[in-house]
Amino acid sequence: MTNVAIIYYSSYGTTHTMAERVAAAAEKTGAQVRLRHVRETAPQEVVQSQEAWKNHQADIADRPVAEPDDLDWADVAVFGSPTRYGHVTSQLQGFIDTLGPLWGQGRLADKVYTAFTSSQTKHGGQESTLLAMHTTFAHFGGIIVPPGYTDQLKFTDGNPYGVGKVTGESTELDGDDLAALDHLVERAIRVGEKLAG
């Protein structure tokens, strides 16, 4: 059985919804799944000043928070982050910065890593955000498994680096979004199983 850790940050809920879909798709393959959000580090006065952010924080208050042990346990790690100026959020980066002890012991190496993101606009930095996560995975010594153009659906979403959702006016995931997320995690798990075999 493959252990899959889904580590993500979400402020308004889109990346959270994407992470839940990834978890459901991974569970369908028979994988053991840990769905974990990273801690909120933004000042509470900022969070509370934005209705969607405040509501999402309340919605996930009782959900498990990511810990370094979740990556130590995982065979496959799927990271998710909204795009912030073409990069991951400070919240996700803060979690990554806690992984030094595991990295120093080589315990992040030789695992499969892949990623997803979201942005409000079509050219909002999704590719650079995914590539930034790939850079982190390379430092871990991880096996980076992008979706590439390994399924016809990738010619629809056009993103070979991971999965990206353009929220625009709607944060709802459409059929293409769901299929792309399913393909992302199913492919990562298949590669992880081959490496374990």
How crowded is residue 6: how many other Cβ atoms within 10 Å of its Cβ?
Answer: 26
pTM: 0.96
Per-residue pLDDT of the chain (197 residues), as tens digits, is 999 999 999 999 999 999 999 999 999 999 999 999 999 999 999 999 999 999 999 999 999 999 999 999 999 999 999 999 999 999 999 999 999 999 999 999 999 999 999 999 988 999 999 999 999 999 999 999 999 999 999 998 889 999 999 987 677 899 999 999 999 999 999 999 999 87
Integer Cα distance of 11 and 142 in angstroms: 27
The answer to whether residues 80 and 8 touch, using CB atoms and an 8 Å cutoff, is yes
Residue 59 is part of which domain span?
Answer: 3-196
Q: What is the CATH number for 31?
A: 3.40.50.360
- Written as one letter, the residue type at 15 is T
Retrieve residue 124's tokens. Answer: 């909002």
Q: What angle do CA 2, 131, 10 make, to 5 degrees?
A: 70
Classify residue 129 as left (phi > 0), alpha (psi -120 to 50) or beta. Answer: alpha
Question: Domain count of the chain?
Answer: 1
